[in-house]
Structure 1
Amino acid sequence: MAHFLRDEHIRNITINEQDLVNLASLFFERLNLYNSSVADEDADDQKALLFFIIRFDDKGYRVYTIDDLLRYYRIAKSVERIIITIEAFESLRTQRAIGTVLEVRLDEKDPNTSYLTATSDNRDWVDASFSSIQEGLAKFQNKNRWAYSAWTALGVQISGVTLGFLLSLWAASKIAPKLTVENAYILTFLFMLLIFSNTWTYLNHFCLRLIHISFPNIKFIRSDKENLHWLMQAVVGGVIGAIVLYLLGQASSFLLEIMSGIVNKNAP
């Protein structure tokens, strides 16, 4: 590794074809500035090249022009990952033990592996390159951060538990009259609540996964192939809104019943 290094994870990025062109132009600019600073006698070792890696439909390609990258980008059914890299020949030769590297990795399937990194023995180039790409990526920020927050997970958990409680009450009211055992309502309610509590662990994971799929951390957009994605976002958003409104309505009714009971008891 070179003497100087800066890196960070990338989150909440939505990128389309034109964004890729703009991002690639920033890399070309950093490449030209770097190569122009290399002395002719060091060119064979210190010079760098720019290349792109795109993985889609369970196959991957390394290309050296933005036109080739866009050609694969357009024909892909599903783009999984794009990596843009500037790397010096000595870094390639030493498998990045030394040398200059500037790289951005955008991974839709595993956002935790998405990052921006810059390393070189030239501190000014590292800082300038890192800041340039960082500012470029900031223009592609989406508003999906909420889908990965602790508040979202808490909201799903509370909504699920509340819904499970109400469903258990409803199921008990329907089943208990058909039973001849003592305390049939309480026993039925507890049984249904137990069934739900054991099922909710899997349902909770499914709900969070559905939210993450609908509002991804990293998303590649193709204007002619994303109608299903926008439809899924609308459906999931509508379902979440309907559940929240339903639970608020049920909670309000429950509260009114309690208050009405208190008022009646205190009435002369």
Structure 2
Amino acid sequence: MAHYLRDKRIGSLTITEEDVRELCDIFFQRMNVVSATRDKPNEPEIKGAHFVIRFDNRGYKAYSTDDVLTYWRQATKVERLVFATESFESLNSNRLRGTYVELKLDLADEQCWLVSSSDSKEWMDGSFTAIDEYLTKCKNKNRLIRTPWTPFAVYVLGQAVILALSLWLAVKIAPRLAVDSPVIIGFIILLFLYLPIWLFLHGQVMRWIALAFPNIKFHKQNRSLHWFGQAMIGALVIFALGQAGSWFLSLLGELIKSTP
């Protein structure tokens, strides 16, 4: 096993086509940097760069920047990018020995890593630093949304919306309820109707948030309007809940009036 290793979890990045090009160039540059091993200080390791891009449920391996960019432009949805430079010894030993640096960026996987390892401390540190410094330019603000408190905040906010919606509908439908304290009765009925629905929808809302603010975002300019459709779906869900509650209370009111 190599004597030196550094790794770091990666997140809150927006990757564009230009970023892909620059990262490929960095990995090719590290391939050409001489790193003498401890055992053979006079025999520099021979290294190669390779890349993996997965998009539209298909994965491809590439060995040049042009190939990676060609796949990028073909993609409807980029799912994963892996950049790697490693020595032949590392390849042959499944990375138990030799030199390598790898950057894994995955749309769905929270475990995205930058790792560098070598018997040459200078090469290991230089590779890690060069890539890490470039990634700081790709940082976005998604980390402000993707926190452990987000599910709790969304749950409380959803309950507040349910309370407000239940009260508003109860006041609106109260004249149709032939009971004492129709607003209170209507509010309680709607609250118990909506709360189980919100328990189900909470998971879906968190999924929408994860899609809207991904850990790694592969930005393609011509694919940037699909969030409008998701916002429309959310608005339709809220409208449907309001209409369903209004219909339910109206039906309840008619049943109460028709009961002797």
Aligned-residue identity in percent? 40
**Which residue in the other structure is 1:217 paired with?**
215
**Structure 1 unaligned residues grouped into runs of 5+:** 240-268
Q: CA deviation at 1:140?
A: 0.9
Q: Which has the higher helix share?
A: 1
**Which residue in the other structure is 2:97 paired with?**
98
Q: Secondary structure at the match of 1:166?
A: helix
Contact 1:91/1:99 (<8 A) preserved = yes
* TM-score of the aligned structures, taking structure 1 as reference length: 0.76
Partner letter of residue 16 of structure 1?
T
**Which residue in the other structure is 2:68 paired with?**
69
**Which residue in the other structure is 1:89 paired with?**
88
Aligned residues: 232
Q: CA deviation at 1:185?
A: 3.9
Contact 1:104/1:117 (<8 A) preserved = yes
**Which residue in the other structure is 2:197 paired with?**
199
- Does the C-alpha gap of structure 1 residues 231 and 181 become closer, same or farther in structure 2, counting only changes over 3 Å? closer
In the alignment, structure 1 residue 23 sits paired with structure 2 residue 23: yes
**Which residue in the other structure is 1:253 paired with?**
none
In the alignment, structure 1 residue 228 sits paired with structure 2 residue 192: no
Which runs of structure 2 are paired with 1:45-194 in the superposition (5 Å)? 46-110=45-109, 112-181=110-179, 184-194=182-192
Aligned mates of 1:128, 1:184 — CA distance in 2: 72
Q: CA deviation at 1:157?
A: 2.5
Aligned mates of 2:130, 2:229 — CA distance in 1: 34
Partner letter of residue 157 of structure 1?
Y
Q: CA deviation at 1:75?
A: 0.9
Partner letter of residue 145 of structure 1?
R
* TM-score of the aligned structures, taking structure 2 as reference length: 0.79
- Does the C-alpha gap of structure 1 residues 169 and 127 become closer, same or farther in structure 2, counting only changes over 3 Å? same
Aligned mates of 1:155, 1:174 — CA distance in 2: 29
Contact 2:76/2:223 (<8 A) preserved = no
Partner letter of residue 171 of structure 2?
S
**Structure 2 unaligned residues grouped into runs of 5+:** 236-260
Contact 2:146/2:213 (<8 A) preserved = no
Q: CA deviation at 1:25?
A: 1.5
Aligned mates of 1:157, 1:67 — CA distance in 2: 46
Q: Secondary structure at the match of 2:138?
A: coil
Contact 1:146/1:152 (<8 A) preserved = no
- Does the C-alpha gap of structure 1 residues 161 and 41 become closer, same or farther in structure 2, counting only changes over 3 Å? same
Aligned mates of 1:58, 1:227 — CA distance in 2: 19
Partner letter of residue 24 of structure 2?
A
Q: Bigger shift: 55-64 or 166-175? A: 166-175
Aligned mates of 1:69, 1:183 — CA distance in 2: 68
Q: CA deviation at 1:209?
A: 2.1
Aligned mates of 1:216, 1:160 — CA distance in 2: 21
- Does the C-alpha gap of structure 1 residues 231 and 180 become closer, same or farther in structure 2, counting only changes over 3 Å? closer
Partner letter of residue 62 of structure 1?
K
Aligned mates of 1:105, 1:19 — CA distance in 2: 14
Q: CA offsets, 1:225-266, max 9 Å, x none?
A: 223147569x58xx8xxxxxxxxxxxxxxxxxxxxxxxxxxx
- Does the C-alpha gap of structure 1 residues 171 and 231 become closer, same or farther in structure 2, counting only changes over 3 Å? closer
Aligned mates of 1:128, 1:227 — CA distance in 2: 35
Q: CA offsets, 1:63-113, max 9 Å, x none?
A: 111111111111111111110001121221121222211000111122x13
Aligned mates of 1:65, 1:22 — CA distance in 2: 12
Aligned mates of 1:169, 1:127 — CA distance in 2: 61
Aligned mates of 1:57, 1:34 — CA distance in 2: 37
Aligned mates of 2:30, 2:160 — CA distance in 1: 54
